[in-house]
Structure 1
Amino acid sequence: METMKIASFDRVSELKAFDETKTGVKGLVDAGVLEVPRIFHHSSLKLSNPKPLSSDFTTIPTFDLGGRVFADETKRKNVVQGIKEASEKWGFFQVINHGVPLDLLEKMKDGVRGFHEQLPEVRKQYYGRDFSKKFMYLSNFDLFSSPAANWRDTFSCTIAPDPPKPEDLPEICRDVMLEYTKHVMNLGQFLFEMLSEALGLDPNYLNEMDCSKGLHMLNHYYPPCPEPDLTLGTTQHSDSSFLTVLLPDQIEGLQVNREGHWYDVPHVPGALIINIGDLLQFGASCISKQSQASSCLHRVLLHHWSKTES
């Protein structure tokens, strides 16, 4: 009986049918689905959640950036040292008093929800898989290549170094996107200063290499799921960027992996989560002195731009 079920599952046809609705996972929820479609079913191995029996580590650390202005040099050095240790041990940390207005964080989250909760007819006009576009709305970038789809919709936008035309952005979230990303770019420059110091380099080192010049924005939306034990909102992955600045909402669920075990990241009001990306991690792993850093990080930067251009 089970063999017949598997044989009758035409995955490609179901993927195409789902994609052609142009309304994503939100469209399924709006239609009142009571069961998760098979294209979203993940293997039990991926759904398993191994946790350490005992550990000195509970979750990623949180640092107070003091509004990006430290009262004295000692406090700055302490934060730099903390960021260094967190980057080495976790690859993640959270920051508070980061200089991005708290009301702007809430407006940005409202803007993301507002876009995804618009009428289907409005969302459909943006839906597509033309990855050359500055603004794109779709469900699952790898829908047709991944073993299982994620219960998630996304709109994305390339903000820098070549910004989109304002008229190409949805009106419902246009203004807040442009305002929020200005602050994030400034925060990114500050974080690259701190990370440069953590690597034992001149504070301007990473910024002068243009590590902070590019910004690609992903805005995920996770609709309510009728069978959450069968699927995931986001599968395990690493970010290929230099740095990720993540704005979470109050719904917890984010986990980070360390030494083969998963740790929950609790919600900290007003915090932004920072993730060291693959490119920066690769460059930092080469560093033992500044001469080696220069050679290695420039190779990383060239690789980054070649990937962007392709």
Structure 2
Amino acid sequence: MAEPLYDRTKELKAFDDTKTGVQGLVDDGITKVPRIFIHPQNNTHNKTNVQLKFPLIDLKNFHEDPIKHKEVIDRVRDASGSWGFFQVINHGIPGRVMDEMLNGVRKFYDQDVEERKKWYTRDMNRRILYNSNFDLFSSPAANWRDTFYCQMAPNPPILDELPIVCRDIMFEYTNQVLKLGTTLFQILSEALGLEANHLEDMKCAEGLSLLCHYYPLCPEPELTLGTSKHADNDFLTVLLNDQLISNDKFISAEHRVLANNVSSRVSVACFFRSDPMTSGKLYGPIEELLSEDDPPKYRATTVGEYVTYYNRKGLDGTSALSHFRI
């Protein structure tokens, strides 16, 4: 007997209409990954076990010791130009705060399904939202992931707007990350050969959004991904993303998340970027980094234009930056 005709759009809408995300599928006891989540085999799990040693940046005594200061700048310059990524230790954020933030994310997803549904929306203009796959209807394949998003700065929500199970730690964690962000933007500015306050003066550290991801246990992890390959759409996250304004001197790390059948996972990403809805400021390659031998490689754009294109394109494995290349 022939298989029934696959109506992808209908299946996507049916999934979205549940407003329970991937977590809802798992809670219902699903044993097969639905077709809307199946990725091409060459895009999923790489069987090669490659051990990578990421650049490690130790910020201990960075502000007090001139020798340590220079060492950190040099290491960040090398890591940002070669990897687009570095790990930071002795960053000043207490372990308790980080643990409580991760626990807060789990508490959000552990809420009763009807409580979670209150936050579910496809309106990307909302400052607080919960959904599964922002690019659900435009990506080649959906990812095995749900996300709770909140814009926390420069105009934070009022306390009562946030879920009671995690709102206090969201504010505490955000305040800590904003302090760290100031230090990191100073380091990145100096690593580019600019004054320490240059990126801050460009408003790169002004806005911050919190993305709380949940990757449920997956019955067939070899068929899908937690997050497909992509580079982020902001100035700075845990993964460095200053490529457009640095004119390729610093690169944007492409990354992905594998699904697994052992346990669920949570992660928290903080995106530093201006508010795409209110900021009309143009961003392009920094003039001080340009010369006749190194002309601009990207045209200027607003955060709003960049984010709109990024969201429309979705996580299709290609860089949004190429759209703005001259």
Partners of 1:176 and 1:14 in 2: CA distance: 36
Q: Please tell me the residue identity of whatever aligns with 1:303.
A: T
* Structure-2-length-normalised TM-score: 0.75
Within the alignment, does 1:89 sit opposite 2:82 as a pair? yes
1:252 matched to which residue of 2? none
Instruction: Give matches, 1:212-231, under 5 Å.
Output: 212-231=205-224
> Does structure 2 retain, via aligned residues, the 8 Å contact 1:12–1:144?
yes
The verdict on how the C-alpha distance between 1:235 and 1:286 changes in structure 2, with shifts beyond 3 A counting, is farther
> Does structure 1 retain, via aligned residues, the 8 Å contact 2:209–2:271?
no
Partners of 2:237 and 2:97 in 1: CA distance: 18
Given candidates 193, 213, 223, the residue that maps to 2:186 is 193
1:161 matched to which residue of 2? 154
Q: Secondary structure at the match of 2:219?
A: coil
1:267 matched to which residue of 2? none
1:58 matched to which residue of 2? 52
CA deviation vs aligned residue, 1:95-133 (integer Å, no higher than 9, x gap): 011011110000000000110121111111111111121
Give how far 1:276 is off.
Answer: 10
Partners of 2:130 and 2:270 in 1: CA distance: 24
Give how far 1:296 is off.
Answer: 6.8
Q: Secondary structure at the match of 1:194?
A: helix
Q: Please tell me the residue identity of whatever aligns with 2:8.
A: R
Q: Secondary structure at the match of 1:95?
A: strand
Given candidates 100, 106, 117, the residue that maps to 1:107 is 100
1:181 matched to which residue of 2? 174
Partners of 2:40 and 2:307 in 1: CA distance: 32
Instruction: Give matches, 1:233-244, under 5 Å.
Output: 233-244=226-237
Within the alignment, does 1:45 sit opposite 2:42 as a pair? yes
Q: Please tell me the residue identity of whatever aligns with 1:203.
A: A
1:16 matched to which residue of 2? 13
Partners of 2:48 and 2:269 in 1: CA distance: 21
Partners of 1:275 and 1:165 in 2: CA distance: 20
Q: Secondary structure at the match of 1:137?
A: strand
Partners of 2:227 and 2:170 in 1: CA distance: 23
2:260 matched to which residue of 1? none
CA deviation vs aligned residue, 1:64-94 (integer Å, no higher than 9, x gap): 111x644410111001100000000000000
1:265 matched to which residue of 2? none
> Does structure 1 retain, via aligned residues, the 8 Å contact 2:189–2:196?
yes
Q: Secondary structure at the match of 1:14?
A: helix
Q: Please tell me the residue identity of whatever aligns with 1:205.
A: H
The verdict on how the C-alpha distance between 1:244 and 1:35 changes in structure 2, with shifts beyond 3 A counting, is same
1:171 matched to which residue of 2? 164
1:303 matched to which residue of 2? 302
> Does structure 2 retain, via aligned residues, the 8 Å contact 1:83–1:198?
yes
2:285 matched to which residue of 1? 283
Partners of 1:285 and 1:26 in 2: CA distance: 47
Partners of 1:210 and 1:167 in 2: CA distance: 28
Identity, % of aligned positions: 47
2:318 matched to which residue of 1? none
Q: Please tell me the residue identity of whatever aligns with 2:31.
A: L
Partners of 2:118 and 2:269 in 1: CA distance: 32
> Does structure 1 retain, via aligned residues, the 8 Å contact 2:108–2:166?
yes
Consecutive unaligned residues in structure 1, runs of 5 or more:
247-255, 263-271
Partners of 2:148 and 2:26 in 1: CA distance: 18
* Structure-1-length-normalised TM-score: 0.79
2:203 matched to which residue of 1? 210
Structure with the greater relative contact order (CA < 8 A, sep ≥ 6): 1 or 2? 1
> Please, what is the CA RMSD of the aligned residues?
3.4
> Does structure 2 retain, via aligned residues, the 8 Å contact 1:92–1:274?
no
> Does structure 2 retain, via aligned residues, the 8 Å contact 1:166–1:174?
yes
Q: Secondary structure at the match of 1:245?
A: coil
Partners of 1:158 and 1:273 in 2: CA distance: 12
Higher share in helix: 1
Give how far 1:303 is off.
Answer: 2.2
Partners of 2:293 and 2:177 in 1: CA distance: 30
Q: Please tell me the residue identity of whatever aligns with 1:60.
A: F
> Does structure 1 retain, via aligned residues, the 8 Å contact 2:21–2:146?
yes
Give how far 1:245 is off.
Answer: 2.7
Within the alignment, does 1:117 sit opposite 2:119 as a pair? no
Partners of 1:284 and 1:58 in 2: CA distance: 32
Q: Secondary structure at the match of 1:200?
A: coil
2:143 matched to which residue of 1? 150
The verdict on how the C-alpha distance between 1:275 and 1:59 changes in structure 2, with shifts beyond 3 A counting, is farther
> Does structure 2 retain, via aligned residues, the 8 Å contact 1:93–1:275?
no
Aligned residues: 276
